[in-house]
Structures are given as C-alpha cells and as structure tokens.
Structure 1
Amino acid sequence: MSQLILHHYPTSPFAEKIRLILGYKKLAWQSVIIPMIMPKPDLTSLTGGYRRTPVLQIGADIYCDTALIADVLEKLAPAPSLYPSPVNGASRIVAQWADSQVFPAAMAYNFQPAGVADVFAGAPEAVVQAFVADRAAMRGGAPRMSLGEGTSTYKSQLRRLSDMLTEHPYLMGEVPTIADFSAYHPMWFTLERTPSVAGILDATPLLKDWMARMKAIGHGQHDKMKSDQAVEVAKNATPEDVSQLAFVDDHGIALGSEVTITADNFGLEPTPGILVAATKTRLTLRREDERAGTVHVHFPRNGFILKKVKS
C-alpha cells in the first residue's frame, strides 16, 4: 500500500476526526502541515481548488471530505470497523448529523470572545482578521449562527449525545463507530482549543468521560513530510485505474466531460477537471497540474454539486 499522506493543521477539528481514525485503525501516516487560511499553493496543486481541511493523499489519488476519507481508510483497514453491523446505517446518520449540525453550533459557541482569545493567544490582530475574512469567504458571505443560537443549540445537542451514553461506553454500543469520531471533534475543539468556555461540558459528565476514552485512542504512528515533497510524490505516481467502476449517471453528464465539483455549503471554490468515474457514492475528476502531474481528485456524492462546463 502506498503511504498515507494527511494534509492538515493541528487545530483543525475535522482533521482531528481523521487523525483519531488513523490511530484507531493503527495505520501509519505522513503528516503534512498546511496553512489555516489561503493561499495554500501546494495543496491547490493537488486538489485544483478544493481547500477544506483535511485532505488525504495516496500517491496521485487525492481524497476530499472526511466522509469519503473515512470510507477509504475503512477499505484499507477493515478491522476495527467504523461501520459495524447492525448499526452501520444508524452510525452514518448520526455522523452526518454531527458533522452538519453539531459542528456549526459548537463553533458558533466556541468562537465567542473568550474562545477567540484562547485560539489566537498572542497573535497579532491582523492574523485574527485574516482568519475571519478567510472563513467568511468560505461561507460565501452567508451569516454565521449567532452566539445565542449556537449556545442553546449546542447545549441541546450535548444533552442528546449524553443520553446515548447511559447504557454503553460509546454512542452506538460497546465499540467506537464513525458516529463517535464525528461527534467528538467539535467537543474536542471546545475542551482542547477553547478551554475558557469549556464549562458547557460540565452538565454532561457522561460525555466528558466518553471524550477521555476517545482521546486515549491517539493518532497512531506518523512522521513529518513537507508539502512540496507530497506534490513530488503525486508527480511520480500513477492514479488508480477507475475505468472498470460501474457508472451511475444521476446528472446526465457523460464520462469524459469537462466538469466542476463544488461543495454545497462551505468552502465554495470549484474544482475543475475531467469526469472519469461516477459511482453510487463518489465522483472522480482527472486533473493535469504542472507540478503534480496527472492526479485523480475524489469527492463523495453527498454534499457536493457536479456541473458540466459549458462549451
């Protein structure tokens, strides 16, 4: 198996989700630290536009979005499973809820003034303003949830998650599933990155105990790699052959078409390329980059918009 290269930065909540999954599956990986905000020239050479964190690279194959990355890691290391029977479907539903509903409420709460002071302790004001502007651009100008709404929503979500732990140590039973890794990372940010506002967790002691169990999983074995080295890895590799994958046409767009793929709600930079695969669960673009060579960029179907480029 080619080496696993994770493009991330230490304070990224979604990256923490994948770092823990790598530790849970005992997979060795290479750590490439990327900037928190644009520009990200080496990452962009690989993805062609997608800039959300993290990104998983295996040779010349680039995997975007943690839902897809988790599926890729599951295929590489089926045991222990992120989707154990009989809670496979239910764990995916809870994971999607946590990523799309718990996370934004948690971050609206975390980024109150005291939390911002924790995250940017000692940083110049210009750094804070650059981060705020970058995240506003990622939202496409859409307003953030207010602190009041974030606080009340987050409290409600924490109570619901705590209720799932009254009978067993993890959300879906006796072992962690994708639901646990997805629910953990927003609370990880609260506890580890914004400790001044972490008192919100005191009302749910079962969750705090669960968080300690999740943290103990760790990140596994990893070594540092420079971002330009990762680009060179892609240049010297050949993407996986996707020509034999079953084509599922839900858009009326033929393979070989020039297309763009864009996230539907956050990080709205489009990725252009040639559509080379469309399965039930993922879309794959072929891209040519001067530095990275020929790469395949893979996206999950859920949460992304496929459009044909008008000639």
Structure 2
Amino acid sequence: MTTPLILHHYPSSPFSEKIRLALGYKQLAWKSVIIPSIAPKPDVVALTGGYRKTPFLQVGADIYCDSALIADVLEHVQPEPVLYPPHLKGVARVFAQWADTTLFWAAMAYNLQPKGASALFAHLPPAAAQAFGEDRREMSAGMQRLRPADAAAAYRSYLRRIAHMAEEHDFLFGAEPCLADFAAYHPLWFTRQCVPVMADIFNATPAVLEWMDRVAALGHGRMEKLGAEDAITVAAGLDPLPLADDVFQDEHGIPLGSQVTIAAESFGTEPTEGELIAATRTRYTLRRTDPRAGTVHVHFPRIGYILRKAEATK
C-alpha cells in the first residue's frame, strides 16, 4: 500500500490499544495522529463529519470508523498473519463483539469507580477530571451502567473465564493470537496500565497476566508521528478509493444517493450526515465534503450503527 495508514488515537484509549496491537501483530507501518480525549475535536470532525469515538483509521480520503471495521481493513491490507484464522472466523468475531461490549463496560465501570478515577487524574487539575466525566456522561446518555459492586463481580467472573482459556494455550484460541485476543486484552490493559491501583483484581488469575504479557510483547508495529493538520492535508489531496461493485443491500428502503445520518446505537451517538453511496452486507459508506478535508468517504460497520434518512432527524 502506497497510501499510509493513519491512526487517529490517544495513548490511554483502550480501543486504540486494540488496534495498535493488531498493527504490531501484522508488523505494519503507520502514522500516529494524537487526538483529544474529549470534545471539542474540530480536526476529527473535519474528517469524520460528527463521529468522535476513538480510534478511527484514515487511508488517504477514506475514513474508517469503529475498531471492528478497522480490524477488517487491516486484514485486507495485509492478510498475513491472520486476525481471523479460517477455522475461527465465526468464533473470533463473536467473542470480540462480546469483549468490546459486555467485558469492556464491566471493566470500565470497575476501573473508573472513585478510587480508579482519582488515580487516573491524580496529576491533572480538577477541571480536567470534571471535563472528562461530563464528556463521557454526554456520550453515554441513556445507557444503563453497572454499579461498581456489580461491575467488580462481573469482571472477576469474566477474568476467571479468560484464565481458563489462557491456561490451555499461549493465546485464547490456540498457539497464535487472533482478533479475540486483542479485543479481550484492551479493557484489561486499561486496568493494568492506566489505573494500576485497581489491578489487584488480577491476583486470583495469574494466567491472565501471563497471557497479557504475551499479547503486549507483540508491540505496536512501526509508528511515525503525524500532525492533525497534515492528516487533513493528506485527505484533501487525494480522491477516495473506488467502491466495490456490490455496494447495495437494501434493508431500510433508503436508496443510494439519499442524504442520511449514521450514528452508534448506544455510546457516542453523535450522527454523521452525508450521501449514502454504499450499503453492503457489512458496512455503510457516506460521501461528504468538508472545507478543509475535501471530499471523503466515511465508512461504518452495519453492526452497532443506525441508518436514518437525514430529514427524519430534523
């Protein structure tokens, strides 16, 4: 690939760690753009049009949202080593979806209870902690969140289940890692690396820590820093990639060429508006134009996202 992979992320983002490890496993070269952890994110919005969850992947004038879709893109860019081994394609995806949702939210409710949150923001001014809390409350409006005691109990149960898997193999499903490992790892990584004061929850499952060490040893690939403005310039200077021939599987009665919005089902529901130019069996693609980034294609997975006609939201 001549067009560089540009990952927009920030260091303590769990889902970014999932993708950084996938890049490391495939030993890919990539550009690193550090973005703010909270709104406002004007440089992000210039590329995504509204989506502001972390990370997203830029390949020229194509913007890929959601770590599940980003993993698919990386598999296409460099098929070996595989994230989805042929005999594990289904189970790797199903397990990763569980880890990205059920496991993640239990872990984060445990991690960010008062003791963990205090440690996370110990070296920042009080206003920073308050702003982060307000930002995440806004992004999770309407979500049912676990209370800390319930989260701790669930997290311990999930760690025991992961330990049972890690005791049998070097990685969760065998001798080599797959997407399931990276998806399960990232919320646990946050506990261990970002709020280590909460990491005594691992004491009962040493096999989990040994597995985590093996995953961490895969590294992050070959990274070079890039400025946000430079990334926007890259998008503005290129045309989006051609679409595949099979671009439409109609599930909504919304024809291609319609103005639509796409938003996450739950967390981070800020919509992106644009022209629907593809709705395949696995993803949506919007064409949109930004004064700074030019014409871009913004891609979303179908699973976890809601497509609506734009006028229905006004």
Into which bin does the TM-score normalised by the smaller protein fall? over 0.9
Contact 1:243 / 1:277 at 8 angstroms: preserved in 2?
no
1:173-195 deviations in whole A, cap 9, x for unaligned?
11101100000000000001111
Of the structure 1 ranges 116-125 and 25-34, higher mean CA displacement relative to structure 2 is found in 116-125
1:65 to 2:87 alignment:
no
Give a deviation string over 1:141-170, Cα, whole Å, max 9, x none: 435321011101101111111111222111
Distance 1:214 1:74 in 2: 18
* In structure 2, distance between residues paired with 1:172 and 1:85: 12
Identify the residue that residue 216 of structure 1 maps to in structure 2. 217
Cα offsets for 1:71-130 (capped at 9, x unmatched): 000000100000002111011111000001000000000012221122112211111010
Identity of aligned residues (%): 56
- Count residues with an aligned counterpart: 311
Aligned residue number for residue 242 of structure 2 = 241
The answer (yes or no) to whether the contact 1:243–1:276 under 8 Å persists in 2 is no
Deviates more, 1:287-296 or 1:241-250: 241-250
Partners of 1:310 and 1:31 lie apart in 2 by 36
3-state secondary structure, aligned to 1:191? helix
Cross-structure match for 1:3: 4
The worse-fitting range, judged by mean Cα deviation, of 114-123 and 63-72 is 114-123
Which stretch has the larger CA shift, 143-152 or 300-309? 143-152
Distance in 1, matches of 2:94 and 2:282, equals 15
Gaps of 5+ in 2: none
Amino acid of the structure 2 residue aligned with 1:144:
R
**CA–CA separation in structure 2 for the residues paired with 1:154 and 1:245:** 41
Which range moved further: 287-296 or 236-245? Answer: 236-245
For 1:108, give the aligned amino acid.
A
Shift of 1:308: 0.9
Q: CA deviation at 1:20?
A: 0.5
Q: Which amino acid aligns with 2:72?
A: D
Match of 1:91 in 2: 92
1:229: Cα distance to partner? 0.7
Q: What is the CA–CA distance in structure 2 between the aligned matches of 1:277 and 1:242, rounded to whole Å? A: 8
Structure 1: which amino acid aligns with 2:131? A
- Structure-2 separation of matches of 1:279 and 1:273: 16
Q: Report the counterpart of residue 130 of structure 1 in structure 2.
A: 131
**2:257 equivalent in structure 1:** 256
Q: Distance in 2 between matches of 1:15 and 1:165?
A: 23
The equivalent residue for 1:194 is: 195
CA shift digits 1:224-276 (9 cap, x unpaired): 11101111110001001116234111111110000000000100100000000
> Do the aligned residues in 2 keep the contact of 1:7 with 1:31 (CA within 8 Å)?
yes
8 A contact 2:143–2:267 mirrored in 1: no
What residue is the counterpart of 1:34 in the other structure? 35
Q: Secondary structure at the match of 1:100?
A: helix
Partner of 1:268: 269
AA of the residue aligned to 2:299: H
Partner of 1:54: 55
Q: Secondary structure at the match of 1:248?
A: coil
Contact preservation (8 Å) 2:7, 2:57: yes
**1: distance between equivalents of 2:81 and 2:41?**
34
How far apart are the structure 1 equivalents of 2:244 and 2:183? 32
Alignment partners' CA distance in 2, 1:157 and 1:15? 21
Q: What's 2:229 paired with? A: 228
Structure 1 stretches lacking a partner, 5+ long: none
C-alpha separation in 1, matches of 2:272 and 2:227: 23
Residues of 2 paired with 1:242 and 1:92: CA distance?
24
CA deviations over 1:195-237 (Å, ceiling 9, x no partner): 1110001111111100000000111111111101111110001
Q: TM-score, normalised by structure 1?
A: 0.98
Distance 1:142 1:75 in 2: 33
Q: In structure 2, what is the equivalent of residue 298 of structure 1?
A: 299
In structure 1, what residue type is equivalent to 2:62?
Answer: D
Distance 1:111 1:309 in 2: 36
Q: Which runs of 4+ in 1 moved over 6 A?
A: none
